[in-house]
Amino acid sequence: MRINHRDVVAGLFLVLLATIGLFLNMDHNLGTARRMGPGYMPWMVFLLQAGLGALVIFVSFGKRGERVEVVKPEGIDIVRIVSVLMFATAAGTLYLTQYGGVRADKVVTFTIMAGAIAAGAIALWIRSPETDGTMAAWTQGEFVAFVAAMVAGVLAWYFIRGAGGYFSQGYNAVGIGMLVGFLVLAIPPGWRYLGLICACMCIFGLFLEKLGFYLALIGTILLACLAERDHIRKPLGVLGLTAFLLVLCWFVFIRELDIRVNLWPT
Amino acid sequence: MTIARRALLATPLAGPAFAQGWPSGSIRLIVPFAPGGTTDLVARMVATPLAERLGVAIAVENRAGAGATVGSLRAAQAAPDGLTLVMSNIASHGIGPTLYPNIRYDAVRDFTHVALLISNPSVFVANPRSGIANLADLVAQHRARPQGLDMASSGAGSSNHMLIVRLGQTLGKEINHVPFRGAGPAMTAVIAGQVPLMSDSLPSAASHIRQGSVRAIAMSSEARHPAFPDVPTMREQGFDVVSTTWFGLSGPAGMPAQVVERLARETRVILETPDIRARFAELGGTPGAMTPAEYTEFVRREVALWAPLVRASGATPD
Amino acid sequence: MELLLTNLAHGFGVALSLQNISFALLGALIGTAIGVLPGIGPVATISLLLPITFGLPATTAIIMLAGIFYGAQYGGSTTAILLNLPGEVSSVVTTLEGYKMARNGRAGAALATAAIGSFFAGSVATVLVAASGPLLTQVALSFGPADYFSLMLLGLIIASVLAQGSVIKAIGMVVFGVALGLVGTDVQTGQQRFTFGIPELSDGIGFVPVAMGMFGIAEIILNLERPEARSVLTTKVGSLFLTREEFKRATPAVLRGTLVGSFLGILPGGGASLAAFGSYMMERKISKGRHLFGTGAIEGVAGPEAANNAAAQTSFIPLLTLGIPSNAVMALMVGALIIQGIQPGPRMVEAQPDLFWGLIASMWVGNLMLLVINLPLIGMWVALLKVPYKYLYPSILVFCSIGVYSLNNNVFDVYMTVLFAVFGYMCSKLKLEAAPLLIGFVLGPMMEEHLRRAMLLSRGDWGVFIQRPISATLLGIGAVALLAMALPNLRKGKEKAMAE
């Protein structure tokens, strides 16, 4: 059997997002064609998207040139699918009941549905023989890091948001959760750049309001530089870059534009 | 670049804004309607002298949607450092709290009300090609059409919207209310003839009436308005309604007392300048003269006053 | 015609005073600088600069503000070409071919094309505004809600040709973009949609976090993953100016872009945002270099840039003739005029001829200033690409972070950008393209508003979209475009099947 693997995943991805959307849209009143309620347009849009996603999957079966084995779940696959499913259910329930204002009975259906589709997509994905890019063929390490990052991130967020003070303010707990998740994700080489670059923007968000503009910049730059092996060999360049960027950002954003930020730790 | 630098406010800032040092940076004034309406006009008119008196820039920001409640919510959620202000008005702070079932702020508790800026009547305007020159024409056309007439407004929840609902009830046949994100886009639609009629606050309609791009057919004031003596009142034409729209200056709840006091003082001085008085008169509005306490009480009364009226009217946001 | 020339001459008399020229230059300079910085848009800049214009004569003030407006638009294209960072809607399209050109070592040519194309389009549109402003207003006014909806729908259909790959996937992304655009408070009923109770989402997901995450940050991650691609980026810079052949290809694209942009710009309520990619679609279908699209075709920079600038000029028309500002920048202009005691509107031409004709002339002067500033700067911008990537990417990251934060002074936007960076990275791995998504994201909310209004006016009758001639024509074009896209694919598929 020949299918274009990436298109199957892309199609599933679109269908998954549309299903989530349609599900969430159940809270909104559709109204009538004359007086459209808040749910009318989203309803049309998500239906269309689900249809298009299905079409993408359908067309992918006709594509030539990319030979792919039929997916046959093996032991390891089942372990993967079950773990992803469990994680999706747990995280979804946790988030939606804590923050979402979505009714609890819907949450269970929703997460199971989302989890099942996500698991299917990932199962297809990891069996793909295509090797361009990291996502097409996951190694064992990449998969473990992916799940570990999700779990670590959610746990970090969940436990730290009650810690009080800085940790309970604004989006700091979310930021820490994301930071932890991305740092764990950065461990296997395949995810390194994604994890590090995202983590260093999280550092910026976490530092800025507490530690001030300059320390946030320094943190971001140093972490960003970890992504490049050259920098680790030649730390002097990093130092120069940091100094240069500090001066430049001070000049542009503080002196000329006067954006409103804390400059120093408070 | 020196001018630019001065303009872009080289006020140094270390730490959160304190009342003593207020204003410590540029001020954001949220206009909860699209550009081109009364709220927008008045905000820009007052912002300019206010910025001069306070010595900082005031950036007017249009955040339109859902009858001015989107922008107002944004202001309610901002830090009460006096650097985010909002144009409170009858839609978001008088009628909206009752009209919108899932509104997420309290018009009194979640704001610090500073000053009433302007109050003015509403006016019904018609596209000159619509063949409607007075209320009698409007009624005749409305009755003649099986589906009735369309009438635009700056958004659901404005007193202009309520007038449309009331008129429909008086006539015993609903007028099709077409809400926009603000008076600017609504006026464009009327001038273009997409919608034949509009119920608008007088200031935003004034220049268009004078230019003749739309025709004023009825005014919601008690007596004929001095700025437009030719336009008959609604009452004169047998529609027994008097209605006034108001716009004011507010901030998030919990603004420091000194800041409120300073803002109120400066605003009052500005509203008393002959220049602003002359411009308001030209637009058909009366400058406000209320202390923060009076204005807060005024808003409280408006919410209470409108609640039964809105419920009785059966009006809905869409 | 003679009257027009006299009037224009009068206008130039006003605009070409030393004071006005220097303020036009200053405005264009500030605008360019602002445009280059991610996240800081022209609206914020003009608001903050408003106070210094109080002391200036009305004409000078408006000239300077207009200069900032044009400058910011041009500055946005610079980062789009060099770094794949679209600062605003119009430059999303510029990233498609412009960034590819930069990677091929033709950054200089792309920047020069953008500058020259913009200047030409600006000049033509200026004359258009002067000669037939009132007439064009009538055209704009004949568009009703149903027509706008169909126009946007056509826009979305043609947005899918922005994609390099599968059309169905692109349409899927457009649709998902529309859905993302619907997040936030419903403009009619005030209900919160898809906000999960997060206050920051109540007025929607911001354009900048989405654009910066999916384009700028995701691109950094992808570049880091492909060391070989990075070295190409930095070693090949190539000649700064256009070759004769490039010039020949760009010229007709600029002409067509000017036409498309001038027309779409006059439509208040979203026309201008369609200009750039309307032109892109056209170039991709009919230009001589259409087979080169996706690899850095100069037409794909020349046309959209021209269209964009032409639309920026003609968007003044509703303001000058009706006195109704069609967007936030125009509202600021009105604010500046009102402060000077001038009420914009049809009577402005008679009441304030100096201002009216001076403004029109200054549009042209503003464009000239942009050219003067930017042509010499191209060398400097291109030199930026010679900076080794290992130094460049931390700088981009830092600038993006600060820019995103300063949008609302809220770290929430920083985290949003991160999430969209991950999303953009995944999409790029799945060959789902970001540009169609962004167009859908921008047009979606407008579309919903027009749709609901059209249906309210038609009392729930869907027939209105085919009964109105403008709407019916637009829908017809859309249907043809869809068919034209589908047919070659079907045929290709068949041929392949036969070959097997």
DSSP 3-state of B164: helix
Neighbours of chain B (3+ CB pairs under 8 A): A, C
Is the pLDDT at B123 greater than 70? The verdict is yes
Contact A258 B4 (CB under 8 A): no
Which pLDDT score is estimated for A128?
43
Is residue A180 predicted with pLDDT exceeding 90? yes
Measured CA distances, C329 to B162, B189, B283, C47, C419 (Å): 31, 20, 23, 9, 30
Question: How does pLDDT run across C379-421, given as a tens digit for each residue?
Answer: 887 777 778 888 888 988 998 898 888 877 788 999 999 999 9
C residues 321-380 lying closer than 8 A (beta carbon) to B: 322-328, 330-332, 334-335, 338-339, 343, 345-347
Test A258 with B13 for CB contact under 8 angstroms: yes
CA C120 to chain A, closest CA, distance in angstroms equals 32
Residue B59 contacts A where some CB pair is shorter than 8 Å: no
Is the pLDDT assigned to residue A127 strictly greater than 50?
no
Work out the pLDDT band at B14, boundaries 50, 70, 90. Answer: very low
Chain C residues within an 8 Å CB radius of B40: 331
pLDDT of residue A184: 93
CB contact under 8 A, B318 and A266: no
Do C52 and B6 lie within an 8 Å CB cutoff? yes
Q: Choosing among A52, A231, A261, which should be mutated to test the C contact, i.e. which has the most C CBs within 10 A?
A: A52
On chain B, the residues whose CB falls within 8 A of the CB of A39 are none
All domains of chain B, ordered by start, with CATH? 2-11+22-120+244-313 (3.40.190.150), 121-219 (3.40.190.10)
Confidence of residue B9 (pLDDT cuts 50, 70, 90): very low
pLDDT at position C270 is: 63
Residue found by looking up tokens 């750049």 in the block: A193
Dist CA A214 CA C33 (whole Å): 22
Of the pLDDT bands very low, low, confident and very high (cuts 50, 70, 90), residue C451 is very high
Which whole-number Å values give the CA distances from A106 to A112, A113, B208, C133, in the listed order?
10, 11, 52, 56
> CB under 8 Å to B82, separation ≥6 — which residues?
B17, B19, B22, B23, B27, B251, B255, B256, B259, B260, B263
Please say if the pLDDT value at position A80 is more than 70.
Answer: no
If one counts the domains in chain C, the total is: 1
Q: Give the gap in angstroms from C-alpha A160 to the nearest C-alpha of chain C.
A: 17
Q: Which pLDDT score, from 0 to 100, does residue B306 have?
A: 86
* pLDDT at res. A1: 47
- Which chain A residues are within 8 Å of B84, Cβ to Cβ? none
CB C31 within 8 A of CB C70: yes
What is the reported pLDDT for A84?
64
pLDDT tens-place string over residues B302-318 = 888 888 888 877 777 76
Contact B96, B68 (CB under 8 A): yes
Are residues A42 and C194, on separate chains, in Cβ contact within 8 Å? yes
Work out the mean pLDDT of chain A and round it to a whole number.
Answer: 76
| Beta-bridge partners for B119 | B246, B286
Contact B14 A256 (CB under 8 A): no
Interface check for B70 against chain A (CB to CB < 8 A): the answer is no
Of B14, B83, B318, the CB nearest to A263: B14
Which residue of A31, A258, A264 is in closest CB contact with B11?
A258
Give CA–CA dist C37/C384, Å, rounded: 14
* Chain B touched by C51 (CB under 8 Å): yes
Statement: residue C346 has pLDDT above 80: no
Question: Tens of pLDDT along C226-268?
Answer: 776 665 555 455 666 778 888 888 889 899 999 988 888 887 6
User: Residue B15 pLDDT more than 60?
Assistant: no
The predicted structure's pLDDT at residue A62: 62
Q: Are strands B197-201 and B150-153 parallel, antiparallel or unpaired?
A: parallel
Residue C68 has pLDDT above 90, yes or no: no
**CB proximity C408 to B under 8 Å:** no
Q: A151 burial class (0-12, 13-18, 19+ CB within 10 angstroms)?
A: middle
Contact C240/C381 with Cβ under 8 angstroms?
no
CA-based nearest residue in chain C for residue A234: C390
> Is residue B8 predicted with pLDDT exceeding 50?
no
In a domain, C157, yes or no: yes
Sort out which chain C residues have CB atoms less than 8 A from B26's CB and list them. Answer: 48
- Is the per-residue pLDDT at B7 higher than 70? no
Residue of C nearest to A9 (CA): C430
Q: Report residue B13's pLDDT band, with 50, 70 and 90 as the boundaries.
A: very low
In the predicted structure, residue C164 carries a pLDDT above the cut 60: yes
Identity of the residue in B13, B25, B318 whose CB atom sits nearest the CB atom of A31 = B318
Which residues in chain B are contacts of C196 at CB distance < 8 A? Answer: none
* Model confidence at B125: pLDDT above 90: yes
Q: What band does A68 get if pLDDT is binned at 50, 70 and 90?
A: very low
Is residue A206 pLDDT above 80, yes or no?
A: yes
The pLDDT of residue C417 is: 93
Apex C238 CA angle, C232 and C243, nearest 5 = 135
Q: Which residues of C touch A99 (CB under 8 A)?
A: 196-198
C209 pLDDT above the threshold of 60: yes
CA distance A94 to B229: 65
ipTM of the complex: 0.83
Does B62 sit within 8 Å of C331, measured CB to CB?
A: yes
Q: Which residues of C touch A24 (CB under 8 A)?
A: 194
- Pick from A122, A130, A171, A218 the residue to mutate for testing the C interface (most C CBs within 10 Å): A171
Structure tokens that stand for C237 in this block: 């810079």
Beta-carbon separation of B4 and A263 below 8 A:
no
Alpha carbons C314 and C48: distance in angstroms, whole number? 25
Mean pLDDT, range A50-74, rounded to an integer: 65
Report the alpha-carbon distance of residue C327 to residue C323 in Å, rounded: 12
Residues 219-238 of C with CB under 8 A from B: none
Report, as an integer, the average pLDDT of A3-7.
Answer: 64
pLDDT at B218 over 60: yes
Condensed to tens digits (0 to 9), the pLDDT of residues C42-60 reads 676 676 666 666 667 777 8
Q: How many CB pairs lie under 8 A apart between chains B and C?
A: 159
φ/ψ of B223, rounded to 5, equals -120, 175
The more confident residue out of B1 and A14 is A14
From the list C44, C192, C330, which residue is nearest B59 (CB)? C44
Name the B residues in 78-107 with CB < 8 Å from any A CB.
Answer: 83
Whether residue A196 is predicted with pLDDT greater than 90 in this model: the reply is yes
Does residue C423 form part of some domain? Answer: yes
Is residue C91 within 8 Å of C80, Cβ to Cβ? yes
**Of all helices (H) and strands (E), which one includes residue C483?**
helix C469-499
Predicted pLDDT at C345: 64
Distance from the Cα of B317 to chain C's closest Cα (Å) equals: 5
Parent domain of C8? 2-495
Confidence band, pLDDT 50/70/90 cuts, at residue B248: very high
Determine the Cα angle at A23 with ends C203 and A102, to 5°.
65
Interface chains of chain C (3 or more CB pairs under 8 Å): A, B
Asked if the structure places residue C190 within a domain, the reply is yes
In the structure, what pLDDT confidence band is assigned to residue C212 with cuts at 50, 70 and 90? confident
| Residue A14 to residue A18: CA distance in whole angstroms | 6
Touching check for A34 and chain B: CB below 8 Å? no
Average the pLDDT over C123-143 and give the result.
Answer: 79
Query: How many other C-beta atoms lie within 10 A of the C-beta of residue B213?
Result: 21
pLDDT at C277: 79
CB of B103 closer than 8 Å to CB of B93: no
CB contact under 8 A, C190 and B318: no
Give contacts of C54 with chain B, Cβ < 8 Å.
48, 52
Rounded CA-CA distance C62/B60 in Å is 17
Partner residue opposite B318 with nearest CB, options A35, A263, A264: A35
End-to-end, the C-alpha distance of chain A in Å comes to 63
Inter-residue contact A121 to A13 (CB < 8 Å): yes
Query: Which pair of structure tokens corresponds to residue C174?
Result: 């457009």
Interface of B with A in 26-45 (CB under 8 A): 26
Strands C192-193 and C184-185, sheet pairing: antiparallel
Least-confidence region, from A118-122, A187-191, B199-203, C119-123 = A118-122
Q: Contact A42/C390, CB-based, under 8 Å? A: no
Residue C334 in any domain: the answer is yes
Average pLDDT score over residue span A41-68: 77
Which helix (DSSP H) or strand (DSSP E) does residue B87 occupy? strand B84-89
Contact list in C for residue B211 (CB cut-off 8 A) is 323, 345-347
Rounded mean pLDDT of C420-434?
86
Q: In chain B, what residues touch C328 (CB-CB under 8 Å)?
A: 35, 61-62
Residues in A touching B13 (Cβ below 8 Å): 258, 260-261, 263
Q: Which of C175, C224, C402 sits opposite A45 (nearest CB)?
A: C175
Residue B15 contacts A, CB cutoff 8 Å:
yes
- The answer to whether position C500 is within a domain reads no
Q: Is the pLDDT of residue A217 over 90?
A: yes
List chain A residues with CB under 8 Å of B15.
Answer: 262, 266
pLDDT at A73: 45
Q: pLDDT averaged over chain C?
A: 80
For residue C362, what is the enclosing H or E element? helix C353-386
Q: How confident is the model at residue C180 (pLDDT cuts 50, 70, 90)?
A: very high
Whole-number percent of chain C with pLDDT over 70: 84
| Position C40 confidence tier, pLDDT thresholds 50, 70, 90 | low
Q: With 70 as the cut, is the pLDDT of residue A70 above it?
A: no
Site of tokens 């940091």:
A242
